[in-house]
Amino acid sequence: MKHIRSILTVACLATLATAAGAQGAGITDIMRAGPRLGPPPTEPRAPAPAARRSAEYIVALVNSEPVTNTEVQSRVLRILKENPEAERVPRSELTRLVLERLINERAQLQMGKEYGIKVDDLAVDQAEQTVARQNQISITELRRRVAAEGLSQEQFRRDLRDQLILTRLRDREIEAKVKISDTEVDQFIKEQRAGANAAFAPNINIAQLIVLVPDNASEAEVAKLQQRAQGLAQRARAGEDFTKLVQENSDAPDRAAGGAFGMRSADRYPELFVEATRSTPVNGIAGPIRSSAGFHVLKLLAKSQPGASDAVVTQTQVRHILLRNDPKRNTAEAVAQLAEFKKRLQAGTADFAGLARDNSQDGSAKQGGDLGWGRPGQFVPEFEEAMNRLGPGEISDPVVSRFGVHLIQVVGRREAKLSQAEQREAARTVLREKKVEQATETWAQEVRARAYVEYREPPQT
């Protein structure tokens, strides 16, 4: 099962890539903006109703479905807020790029509807929780910030649902068509070991110590917390045990585990962390760096190129019970059944392997749900994100994925060198993701070409 990008991220379309070349570095990242939230504003800043009405008109029709000026300008404002670099792009050009992106999204969503792709409320709930965790805030705080940015909860959830539909559509349309030959794998490994292929992100393992900054903290409070983070960073640089520092001082809920994220591709980390540790040597300390959540002190635990003979990754031994959606059982019923299984497991009245053998609806059922030792990127993000939050022996709540609903248990975790066969599979995964990204751009162009698009001029005043 393949890795995809974060839940709100959409594929970079050909029109945007072309514009990036014309406008310079930064615009592609702007258009890929994911679920990042800045510091919370003190007052909601929604446009006045009169201003909304006067600016409302249709700017394009996509197979007779309208795209309005309000939709375009709302997206433009969100991009400008999340990415200050976007100010360098002329407003007219940014508006044009956003309109083209909305047209592409609309055409793809219409295709998803034709194929009968649906995303239920439970999957949207889970996506919302993921966005909150990625921003290290509660669901309540996420909803407050969404409202403060002038976006209704209904629209935010609709955006989440649309991106889930687009993800499932692209998986259906592209995944089966992408093949990686053994020759391509051989060449990739050869280039990686020669250090000649810098186009692929390295695998890194970062540990984090975070000093949280409360919402609406005064400048004096922020300065005091920053001083605390700087002191902890100095202690780490002086040689104190970082794991112990995290366990005793970090504000993260998982501090007992030492703050390590595990060995994974750099593009799976927050960009802020990657940039901060880019020139940091292994076992070096970076920070404190500031995010909307607080101050982060980072330690680079390990770094290697995928496909390298000495590549080390964090492997997780995991098992699951999968219930697929079918005419006899919908998602809510599957969630309820797996929640009941979890209660029985925690009470000691049932055995995970036995429940998996009797109930799981995939090939792992015969092995008691055992999926073996998995490496980063092996599972779909919904599954992997939940798995990574579990310690050995812990059982997740029911997790909704594109395959159905899972109950997940982590059996063990280890840092290990990959075998030769595993190195090849890891290399194949990296190559596959790159080729899927390229194929997505081509596919998006084809969908756009098949759509009937009619542009509308703004009304004369």
Model confidence at 174: pLDDT above 50? yes
Mean pLDDT lowest among 51-60, 246-255, 390-399: 51-60
Q: Residue 178 contacts by C-beta under 8 Å, 6 or more apart in sequence? A: 432, 435, 436, 439
Question: What integer is the mean pLDDT of 96-100?
Answer: 91
Spell out where 41-156 has E strands. 58-62, 65-68
pLDDT winner (highest mean) among 261-270, 324-333, 339-348: 339-348
Q: Residue 449 contacts by C-beta under 8 Å, 6 or more apart in sequence? A: none
Model confidence at 182: pLDDT above 70? yes
The percentage of the chain sitting over the pLDDT mark of 90, rounded to a whole number, equals 25
Mean pLDDT taken over the chain: 79
Coil, strand or helix at 98 = helix
For 232, phi and psi rounded to 5 degrees?
A: -65, -40
Question: What integer is the mean pLDDT of 402-427?
Answer: 84
Domains of the chain from N-terminus onward: 14-177 (1.10.4030.10), 203-304 (3.10.50.40), 312-417 (3.10.50.40)
Spell out the long-range contacts of 115-123 with Cβ–Cβ below 8 A and sequence spacing 24 or more. Answer: 115/169, 115/172, 117/165, 117/168, 117/169, 117/172, 118/165, 119/161, 119/164, 119/165, 119/168, 120/330, 120/331, 120/332, 120/400, 122/331, 122/332, 122/335, 122/400, 123/161, 123/164, 123/331, 123/400
Mean pLDDT lowest among 234-238, 304-308, 361-365: 304-308
Work out the pLDDT band at 354, boundaries 50, 70, 90: very high
Work out the pLDDT band at 136, boundaries 50, 70, 90: low
Cα dist from 371 to 114, 122, 315, whole Å: 34, 25, 12
pLDDT of residue 355: 95
Work out the pLDDT band at 318, boundaries 50, 70, 90: very high
pLDDT of residue 305: 67
Question: What integer is the mean pLDDT of 28-37?
Answer: 37
Work out the pLDDT band at 428, boundaries 50, 70, 90: confident
Question: What integer is the mean pLDDT of 69-79?
Answer: 87
Q: Are 10 and 101 in contact (CB under 8 A)?
A: yes
Q: Are 352 and 345 in contact (CB under 8 A)?
A: yes
pLDDT of residue 377: 74
Q: What is the DSSP string of 202-226?
A: PEEEEEEEEEE--TT--HHHHHHHH
The number of beta carbons lying within 10 Å of the beta carbon of residue 362 is 17
Mean pLDDT lowest among 40-49, 74-83, 223-232, 345-354: 40-49
pLDDT of residue 371: 93
Work out the pLDDT band at 90, boundaries 50, 70, 90: confident
Model confidence at 78: pLDDT above 60? yes
Of the candidates 352, 369, 371, the residue with the CA atom closest to the CA atom of residue 360: 369
Question: What integer is the mean pLDDT of 208-233?
Answer: 88
Angle between helix axes 381-388 and 121-134 (nearest 10 degrees) is 50
Work out the pLDDT band at 162, boundaries 50, 70, 90: very high
pLDDT of residue 341: 95
The residue assigned the tokens 């995010």 is 291
pLDDT of residue 179: 87
pLDDT of residue 200: 60
Question: What integer is the mean pLDDT of 271-284?
Answer: 84
pLDDT of residue 104: 92
Question: What integer is the mean pLDDT of 150-178?
Answer: 87
Q: Give CA–CA dist 206/83, Å, rounded.
A: 25
pLDDT of residue 47: 43
